[in-house]
């Protein structure tokens, strides 16, 4: 097995090779939260680059619940033609193209002016940055049911638009991940307590999605291997959740890790664990591979071909690549041509880990903006400069988002 072999999914469809463009949050939506020309340009670049699977950055299921003010939302048919155009661009060279669908839960900044929902009223602990996030509202059963149906509706619309699948985001501390963790889920009803109860919302979302899409439409799940916080969602919990997903029609599970509070997906873990700089979660993925009935994908820092080959030779079916494809979108084609490319950003070793995490994301977004404008990425950009640019852009987008939501609220009265 090598990285350029095709993979047949449980639904019978094929991914042409084992390299996936993993999700990176772009924040490039139009002011109406729809796919933009910048996004079209960006995904054209990746489609031309030779990956077998392209997974979008966060596409939100509810315009009131955003991971960022420039995020794309798919909750109705209003901009479906733009989603169709996006799907055509991503699929133009034969890759499968999946929407990553998500709800942020409590991980939405308070300056966006919306109520935040979570399984329990437990605020984020980000030290000095904690005040940027409000204490969330504990979700009622009606709210939980609404979220489940919104995931299903977004998946249904994604298929109508021509995407070949969705990835349900249950990692990185977003809403479904919050339900899975006993730190953020302190409920005493059927949605909290035991792992079976904490995993219920994820299983119900998968079932609801499956009920409204075709058999050939891929349904994947992004899951934390652990959230790297003492008393949180553990590696053993993750194994048990994969066993639960074995009983459903899931086509792939992507393994990552961490959250805003402990950004292990960037090679930083607050509990002092030493993570490898590349393929952070491979050791865990090989353990999951032994029990999983669906293909497994591992994402986290992979940038060299020998490491990608090591992943598939270990039995893990798909290699997720993020930052390296932001720096060199043609990486799969280059590897296939025998070029020994290994694009890399210099690690950010600031004392404030939460701020370093934000700076790292800003540095990646800086590269994405360059690509979307037809320019070459700049791996040597100052993280501080990238962070300043990103904060200025987000401040402007946040004001625009708030105005849009205020207009919509007035129109609905």
pLDDT digits over 363-376, tens only? 999 999 999 999 99
Is residue 299 within 8 A of residue 282, CB to CB? The reply is no
Residue 314 lies in a domain: yes
Model pLDDT, residue 265: 46
Model pLDDT, residue 412: 82
Residue 375 lies in a domain: no
Domain of 43, CATH number, reads: 3.20.20.70
φ, ψ for residue 9, nearest 5 deg: -80, 165
> Using one digit for the tens of pLDDT, what is the confidence trace for 274-317?
334 455 678 889 999 999 999 999 988 899 999 999 999 999 99
Confidence class of residue 258 from pLDDT cuts 50, 70 and 90?
Answer: low
Boundaries of domain holding 81: 7-346
Residue with tokens 């105005």: 403
Q: Report the percentage of the chain scoring pLDDT > 90.
A: 81
Model pLDDT, residue 110: 95
Q: How many domains does the chain have?
A: 1
- Altogether, the residues listed in the chain come to a count of 413
Torsion of CA 333, 308, 264, 368, to 10 degrees: 0
Residue 40 lies in a domain: yes
Rounded Cα gap, residues 36 and 15, in angstroms: 26
Model pLDDT, residue 277: 47
Name the average pLDDT for the chain: 92
Rounded Cα gap, residues 298 and 276, in angstroms: 13
Residue 398 lies in a domain: no
Closest Cα partner for 96 from 172, 158, 171? 158
More confident residue, 287 or 1: 287
> Can you give the chain as a three-state secondary structure string?
CCCCCCEECCCCCEECCCEEECCCCCCCCCCCCCCCHHHHHHHHHHHHHCCCEEEEEEEECCCCCCCCCCCEECCCCCCHHHHHHHHHHHHCCCCEEEEEEECCCCCCEHHHCCCCEECCCCCCCCHHHHHHECCCEECCHHHHHHHHHHHHHHHHHHHHHCCCEEEEEECCCCHHHHHHCCCCCCCCCCCCCCHHHHCHHHHHHHHHHHHHCCCCCEEEEEEECCCCCCCCCCHHHHHHHHHHHCCCCCCEEEEECCCCCCCHHHCCCCCCCCCCCCCCCHHHHHHHHCCCCCCEEEECCCCCHHHHHHHHHCCCCEEEECHHHHHCCCHHHHHHCCCCCCCCCCCCCCCCHHHHHHHHHHHHHHHHHHHHCCCCCCCCCCHHHHHHHHHHHHHHHHHHHHHHHHHHHHHHC
| Lowest mean per-residue pLDDT among 105-109, 225-229, 407-411 | 225-229
Region 331-348 average pLDDT: 94
Is residue 50 within 8 A of residue 9, CB to CB? The reply is no
Count other Cβ atoms within 10 Å, centred on residue 115: 11
Closest Cα partner for 383 from 404, 358, 410? 358
- The answer to whether residue 272 scores a pLDDT higher than 50 is no
| Lowest mean per-residue pLDDT among 197-201, 209-213, 276-280 | 276-280
Most confident by average pLDDT, 27-41, 227-241, 338-352: 27-41
Rounded Cα gap, residues 91 and 241, in angstroms: 31
The alpha carbon of residue 225 and the mean position of all alpha carbons in its chain are separated, in whole angstroms, by 14
Residue 187 lies in a domain: yes
Residue 380 lies in a domain: no
User: Which positions ≥6 away from 22 have C-beta within 8 Å?
Assistant: 55, 254, 299, 320, 321, 322, 325
Region 260-282 average pLDDT: 49
Residue 384 lies in a domain: no
Q: Quick check: pTM over 0.75?
A: yes
Residue 366 lies in a domain: no
HSE toward the beta carbon, residue 108, CA cutoff 13 A: 29
Closest Cα partner for 30 from 7, 63, 2? 63
Query: Euclidean distance between the first and final Cα of the chain, in Å?
Result: 59
Is residue 170 within 8 A of residue 184, CB to CB? The reply is no
């Amino acid at each position: 097995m090598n990285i350029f072999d095709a993979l047949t999914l449980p639904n019978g469809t094929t991914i042409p090779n084992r390299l996936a463009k993993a999700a990176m949050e772009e924040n490039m939506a139009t002011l109406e939260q729809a796919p933009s020309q910048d996004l079209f340009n960006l995904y054209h670049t990746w489609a031309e680059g030779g990956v077998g699977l392209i997974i979008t950055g966060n596409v939100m299921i509810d315009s009131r619940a955003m991971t960022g003010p420039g995020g794309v939302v798919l909750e109705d048919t209003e901009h479906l033609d733009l989603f169709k155009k996006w799907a055509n661009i991503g699929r133009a060279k034969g890759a499968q193209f999946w929407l990553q669908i998500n709800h942020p839960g409590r991980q939405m900044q308070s300056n966006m002016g919306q109520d935040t929902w979570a399984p329990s009223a437990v605020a984020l602990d980000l030290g000095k940055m904690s005040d940027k996030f409000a204490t969330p509202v504990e979700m009622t059963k009606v709210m939980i049911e609404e979220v489940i149906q919104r995931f299903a509706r977004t998946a249904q619309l994604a298929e109508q638009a021509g995407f070949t699948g969705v990835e349900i985001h249950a990692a990185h501390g977003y809403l479904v991940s919050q339900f899975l963790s006993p730190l953020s889920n302190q409920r005493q009803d059927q949605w909290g307590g035991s792992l079976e109860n904490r995993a219920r919302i994820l299983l119900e979302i998968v079932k609801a999605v499956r009920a409204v899409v075709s058999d050939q439409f891929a349904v994947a799940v992004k899951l934390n291997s652990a959230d790297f916080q003492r008393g949180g969602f553990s590696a053993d919990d993750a194994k048990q959740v994969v066993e639960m997903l074995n009983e459903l029609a899931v086509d792939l599970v992507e393994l990552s890790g961490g959250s805003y509070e402990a950004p292990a997906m960037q090679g930083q873990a607050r509990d002092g664990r030493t993570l490898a700089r590349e393929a952070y979660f491979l050791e865990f993925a090989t353990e999951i591979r032994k029990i999983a009935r669906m293909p497994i994908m591992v994402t986290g820092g992979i940038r060299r071909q020998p490491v990608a080959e090591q992943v598939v030779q270990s039995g893990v079916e798909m290699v997720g690549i993020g930052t390296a494809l932001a720096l060199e979108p043609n990486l799969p084609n280059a590897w296939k041509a025998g070029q020994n490319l290994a694009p890399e950003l210099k690690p950010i070793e600031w004392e404030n880990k939460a701020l370093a995490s934000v700076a790292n994301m800003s540095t990646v977004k800086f590269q994405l903006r360059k690509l979307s404008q037809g320019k070459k990425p700049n791996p040597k950009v100052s993280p501080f400069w990238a962070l300043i640019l990103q904060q200025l852009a987000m401040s402007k987008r946040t004001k625009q988002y708030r105005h849009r939501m205020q207009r919509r609220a007035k129109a609905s009265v």
